[in-house]
Amino acid sequence: MKMKSMLAIAVVSAGSMTMAASADVIVAYWNFNSLDIPGTGSNNLPGVDGVPTDIAADFGSGNISLDNWGGSVNSFGGTTLNALFDDVAGNTLSLQGGPDVGGNGTWIDITFSMTDLQDLVMSFAGRGTGTGFNSNQVSYSTDGMSFTDLGSPYDSTQASFQLYEFDFGSALDDADNVTIRITFDGATSGPGNNRIDNLQLNAALIPAPGALALLGLAGIVGARRRRA
Protein backbone atom coordinates (compact mmCIF):
# COMPACT_ATOMS: atom_id res chain seq x y z
CA MET A 1 0.00 0.00 0.00
CA LYS A 2 1.30 3.42 -0.91
CA MET A 3 2.33 5.80 1.89
CA LYS A 4 -0.26 8.37 0.82
CA SER A 5 -3.09 5.81 1.14
CA MET A 6 -1.83 4.63 4.53
CA LEU A 7 -1.78 8.20 5.83
CA ALA A 8 -5.29 8.81 4.53
CA ILE A 9 -6.54 5.73 6.39
CA ALA A 10 -4.78 6.91 9.55
CA VAL A 11 -6.47 10.30 9.31
CA VAL A 12 -9.92 8.75 8.83
CA SER A 13 -9.38 6.28 11.69
CA ALA A 14 -8.16 9.02 14.02
CA GLY A 15 -11.20 11.13 13.20
CA SER A 16 -13.54 8.23 13.94
CA MET A 17 -11.88 7.55 17.27
CA THR A 18 -12.04 11.20 18.23
CA MET A 19 -15.78 11.15 17.64
CA ALA A 20 -16.16 7.99 19.73
CA ALA A 21 -14.05 9.42 22.54
CA SER A 22 -16.18 12.54 22.80
CA ALA A 23 -19.49 10.64 22.78
CA ASP A 24 -21.68 10.89 25.84
CA VAL A 25 -21.57 7.95 28.24
CA ILE A 26 -24.34 7.57 30.82
CA VAL A 27 -22.34 6.56 33.89
CA ALA A 28 -25.42 6.34 36.10
CA TYR A 29 -29.03 7.57 36.10
CA TRP A 30 -31.71 7.68 38.78
CA ASN A 31 -35.35 8.44 37.94
CA PHE A 32 -36.49 7.55 41.50
CA ASN A 33 -39.83 6.28 40.15
CA SER A 34 -39.52 3.04 42.11
CA LEU A 35 -38.77 4.95 45.33
CA ASP A 36 -42.08 4.66 47.17
CA ILE A 37 -41.83 5.71 50.81
CA PRO A 38 -44.96 5.21 52.92
CA GLY A 39 -46.56 8.27 54.48
CA THR A 40 -45.84 11.93 53.93
CA GLY A 41 -44.68 12.92 57.41
CA SER A 42 -41.37 14.41 58.44
CA ASN A 43 -40.29 11.46 60.60
CA ASN A 44 -39.34 9.05 57.82
CA LEU A 45 -35.74 8.45 58.78
CA PRO A 46 -33.28 6.38 56.72
CA GLY A 47 -33.35 2.73 57.72
CA VAL A 48 -36.68 3.04 59.57
CA ASP A 49 -40.13 1.86 58.42
CA GLY A 50 -39.13 0.99 54.88
CA VAL A 51 -37.00 4.07 54.20
CA PRO A 52 -33.85 2.91 52.35
CA THR A 53 -30.29 3.77 53.27
CA ASP A 54 -29.03 3.04 49.74
CA ILE A 55 -30.56 3.73 46.33
CA ALA A 56 -29.02 1.91 43.36
CA ALA A 57 -28.99 3.57 39.94
CA ASP A 58 -31.93 2.78 37.66
CA PHE A 59 -29.52 2.70 34.72
CA GLY A 60 -25.75 2.31 34.69
CA SER A 61 -23.77 1.70 37.85
CA GLY A 62 -23.84 3.88 40.96
CA ASN A 63 -25.26 4.19 44.45
CA ILE A 64 -26.73 6.96 46.59
CA SER A 65 -26.04 6.49 50.30
CA LEU A 66 -28.28 8.04 52.95
CA ASP A 67 -26.15 6.71 55.83
CA ASN A 68 -25.11 10.22 56.86
CA TRP A 69 -28.43 11.91 56.21
CA GLY A 70 -29.86 13.42 59.43
CA GLY A 71 -33.25 14.52 58.12
CA SER A 72 -36.21 12.56 56.86
CA VAL A 73 -36.91 11.18 53.40
CA ASN A 74 -39.98 11.11 51.20
CA SER A 75 -40.86 10.41 47.56
CA PHE A 76 -43.06 13.33 46.54
CA GLY A 77 -44.14 13.80 42.92
CA GLY A 78 -41.58 14.43 40.19
CA THR A 79 -41.11 15.77 36.67
CA THR A 80 -39.99 14.77 33.19
CA LEU A 81 -37.33 17.50 33.20
CA ASN A 82 -33.92 15.86 32.55
CA ALA A 83 -35.56 12.42 32.24
CA LEU A 84 -34.18 9.75 29.91
CA PHE A 85 -35.85 6.96 27.94
CA ASP A 86 -39.26 8.72 27.91
CA ASP A 87 -39.55 8.16 31.67
CA VAL A 88 -42.76 9.46 33.21
CA ALA A 89 -42.96 12.03 36.00
CA GLY A 90 -43.06 9.57 38.89
CA ASN A 91 -41.43 9.96 42.28
CA THR A 92 -38.43 11.93 43.57
CA LEU A 93 -35.80 11.72 46.24
CA SER A 94 -37.36 14.23 48.65
CA LEU A 95 -35.10 15.31 51.50
CA GLN A 96 -36.77 17.00 54.47
CA GLY A 97 -35.52 18.93 57.48
CA GLY A 98 -36.86 16.19 59.75
CA PRO A 99 -37.13 16.11 63.53
CA ASP A 100 -35.40 19.14 65.08
CA VAL A 101 -34.40 20.07 61.50
CA GLY A 102 -31.68 17.43 61.83
CA GLY A 103 -30.99 17.43 58.10
CA ASN A 104 -29.07 20.69 58.32
CA GLY A 105 -25.35 20.11 57.87
CA THR A 106 -25.77 16.47 56.79
CA TRP A 107 -25.31 14.92 53.36
CA ILE A 108 -25.96 12.27 50.77
CA ASP A 109 -23.11 10.48 48.98
CA ILE A 110 -23.19 9.40 45.33
CA THR A 111 -20.57 6.74 44.57
CA PHE A 112 -19.47 5.36 41.18
CA SER A 113 -16.42 4.71 39.00
CA MET A 114 -14.85 6.94 36.35
CA THR A 115 -12.38 4.30 35.12
CA ASP A 116 -11.60 4.99 31.43
CA LEU A 117 -13.89 8.04 31.54
CA GLN A 118 -13.34 11.80 31.59
CA ASP A 119 -15.14 15.18 31.77
CA LEU A 120 -17.88 14.30 34.26
CA VAL A 121 -21.09 16.35 34.33
CA MET A 122 -23.84 15.82 36.93
CA SER A 123 -27.35 17.12 36.29
CA PHE A 124 -30.76 16.80 37.90
CA ALA A 125 -34.14 18.48 38.19
CA GLY A 126 -34.66 20.20 41.55
CA ARG A 127 -37.25 22.19 43.46
CA GLY A 128 -38.20 22.78 47.09
CA THR A 129 -40.27 24.60 49.64
CA GLY A 130 -39.63 27.99 51.21
CA THR A 131 -38.55 26.38 54.50
CA GLY A 132 -36.37 23.79 52.78
CA PHE A 133 -32.60 23.70 52.30
CA ASN A 134 -31.32 26.87 50.64
CA SER A 135 -27.53 26.39 50.94
CA ASN A 136 -26.44 23.10 49.40
CA GLN A 137 -22.78 22.39 48.71
CA VAL A 138 -21.54 19.90 46.10
CA SER A 139 -18.11 18.41 46.77
CA TYR A 140 -16.11 15.49 45.40
CA SER A 141 -13.50 12.95 46.47
CA THR A 142 -11.47 10.12 44.99
CA ASP A 143 -10.72 8.45 48.33
CA GLY A 144 -13.98 8.95 50.27
CA MET A 145 -12.18 10.96 52.96
CA SER A 146 -10.78 14.20 51.53
CA PHE A 147 -13.40 16.35 49.78
CA THR A 148 -13.08 19.41 47.54
CA ASP A 149 -15.95 21.88 47.13
CA LEU A 150 -17.22 22.44 43.60
CA GLY A 151 -18.15 26.11 43.33
CA SER A 152 -20.53 27.84 45.73
CA PRO A 153 -23.62 26.39 47.46
CA TYR A 154 -26.80 26.29 45.40
CA ASP A 155 -30.40 27.05 46.42
CA SER A 156 -33.27 24.89 45.16
CA THR A 157 -36.21 26.17 47.22
CA GLN A 158 -38.15 27.48 44.21
CA ALA A 159 -41.71 26.21 43.69
CA SER A 160 -41.19 24.63 40.26
CA PHE A 161 -38.55 22.26 38.94
CA GLN A 162 -35.49 23.67 37.22
CA LEU A 163 -32.35 22.07 35.84
CA TYR A 164 -29.11 22.02 37.87
CA GLU A 165 -25.81 21.14 36.18
CA PHE A 166 -22.37 20.65 37.73
CA ASP A 167 -19.27 20.32 35.53
CA PHE A 168 -16.30 18.62 37.21
CA GLY A 169 -13.91 19.23 34.32
CA SER A 170 -10.90 16.90 34.50
CA ALA A 171 -10.90 16.60 38.32
CA LEU A 172 -12.28 13.04 38.33
CA ASP A 173 -10.86 11.68 35.08
CA ASP A 174 -10.11 7.94 35.21
CA ALA A 175 -10.69 7.76 38.99
CA ASP A 176 -11.61 4.27 40.20
CA ASN A 177 -13.70 5.31 43.20
CA VAL A 178 -15.56 8.62 43.05
CA THR A 179 -17.80 10.12 45.69
CA ILE A 180 -19.93 13.18 45.03
CA ARG A 181 -21.29 14.61 48.26
CA ILE A 182 -24.17 17.06 48.55
CA THR A 183 -24.34 18.70 51.98
CA PHE A 184 -27.66 20.40 52.72
CA ASP A 185 -28.20 23.37 55.02
CA GLY A 186 -30.50 26.30 55.70
CA ALA A 187 -33.82 24.51 56.31
CA THR A 188 -36.06 26.18 58.89
CA SER A 189 -38.71 23.50 59.45
CA GLY A 190 -39.05 19.73 59.67
CA PRO A 191 -41.45 19.42 56.70
CA GLY A 192 -39.32 21.79 54.57
CA ASN A 193 -37.94 19.82 51.65
CA ASN A 194 -35.84 19.70 48.51
CA ARG A 195 -36.71 17.29 45.71
CA ILE A 196 -34.16 15.72 43.37
CA ASP A 197 -35.33 13.98 40.22
CA ASN A 198 -33.81 12.41 37.09
CA LEU A 199 -30.23 12.60 38.32
CA GLN A 200 -27.72 11.94 35.53
CA LEU A 201 -23.97 11.36 35.61
CA ASN A 202 -22.53 11.76 32.11
CA ALA A 203 -18.94 11.50 30.89
CA ALA A 204 -16.83 10.81 27.79
CA LEU A 205 -14.57 7.89 26.96
CA ILE A 206 -10.83 8.41 27.32
CA PRO A 207 -9.20 7.60 23.96
CA ALA A 208 -7.17 4.38 23.98
CA PRO A 209 -3.37 4.72 23.49
CA GLY A 210 -3.69 3.46 19.92
CA ALA A 211 -6.21 6.17 19.16
CA LEU A 212 -3.87 8.79 20.59
CA ALA A 213 -1.05 7.51 18.39
CA LEU A 214 -3.27 7.78 15.34
CA LEU A 215 -4.29 11.28 16.37
CA GLY A 216 -0.61 12.20 16.50
CA LEU A 217 -0.10 10.74 13.04
CA ALA A 218 -3.10 12.68 11.78
CA GLY A 219 -1.49 15.85 13.17
CA ILE A 220 1.72 15.11 11.27
CA VAL A 221 -0.25 14.56 8.07
CA GLY A 222 -2.10 17.83 8.60
CA ALA A 223 1.16 19.69 9.16
CA ARG A 224 2.63 18.23 5.99
CA ARG A 225 -0.42 19.31 4.02
CA ARG A 226 -0.17 22.85 5.37
CA ARG A 227 3.51 23.05 4.40
CA ALA A 228 2.70 21.76 0.96
Residue 42's pLDDT is 61
d(CA 182, CA 106): 8
Give the chain's count of helices (H) and strands (E): 2, 13
Backbone φ, ψ for residue 192 (5° rounding): -55, 135
> Are β-strands 137-141 and 117-128 bridged in parallel, bridged antiparallel, or unpaired?
unpaired
d(CA 45, CA 48): 6
d(CA 195, CA 64): 14
CA-based R_g, the chain, Å: 22
> What is this structure's pTM?
0.83
Residue 136 DSSP code: B
Residue 49's pLDDT is 78
Residue 93's pLDDT is 98
Nearest Cα to 174, choosing from 28, 59, 27, 58?
27
| Secondary structure class of 163 (helix, strand, coil) | strand
Residue 20's pLDDT is 37
Residues 6+ apart with CB under 8 A from 19: none
Residue 8's pLDDT is 32
95, 71 Cβ separation under 8 angstroms: yes
d(CA 139, CA 151): 8
Q: What's the average pLDDT block by block, 10 residues per block, for the chain (228 residues)?
A: 36 35 80 87 80 96 97 96 97 96 98 98 98 98 97 97 98 98 97 97 89 50 50
d(CA 35, CA 152): 29
Q: How far is CA 19 from CA 35, 63, 83, 197, 211, in A?
A: 37, 29, 25, 30, 11
Name the superfamily (CATH) of residues 24-206.
Answer: Galactose-binding domain-like (2.60.120.260)
Locate the domains of the chain by residue range: 24-206
Residue 91's pLDDT is 97
